[in-house]
Structure formats: structure tokens, C-alpha cells
Amino acid sequence: MSARRVTVTECPGGPLLIRGADEVVGIDGTTGTVDRAVVAMCRCGRSERLPWCDDSHRARKRRKKKEQTDE
């Protein structure tokens, strides 16, 4: 059996992109089976589909930008 290469790429302010994994464990302990070449794992804890990213982190970015422009 050969070792499988798994890579993790950090998206600034967003998810971790996981390539080559069969299974992942999210920040809440939820285990997910990987059936795609690349999956996005939530790091912000706001996703309603943990451990997967559902783009909820983007709402936070928009809110931060609005707060900065309102100041």
C-alpha cells in the first residue's frame, strides 16, 4: 500500500482546502467522508454544514468592511 499525498491550503479569512483526503474531522468533531478531489473545511465555525465551508465566512468579511467604512 502506497502513502497517499494530502495537501492543505489555507485561504486567508476563509476555509482550508484539502486535497487528497478520504476523510476529515471538523472543528466540532464531526467526521466527513471526502468524495471529491478538493474539499473546503470551515475554520470560522459559522457554517451550517460543518465540517464543510458553506461560505458563511464571507458574511463576516462584508460586515467587517462595512464597519470599517462606517467609522
Residues that bind ligand FES in the complex, under the rule CB under 6 A: 14-15, 42-44, 46-47, 53-57
Give φ, ψ of 32 to 5 degrees: -130, 140
Q: Which CB, 24 or 57, lies closer to ligand FES?
A: 57
Nearer to ligand FES, 5 or 36 (CB): 36
CB of 57 to ligand FES, least distance (A): 4
Q: What count of other Cβ atoms lies within 10 Å of the Cβ of residue 41?
A: 21
Provide φ and ψ at 29, rounded to 5°: 90, -5
Q: Which is nearer to ligand FES, 19 or 46 (CB)?
A: 46
CA terminus-to-terminus distance, the chain: 58
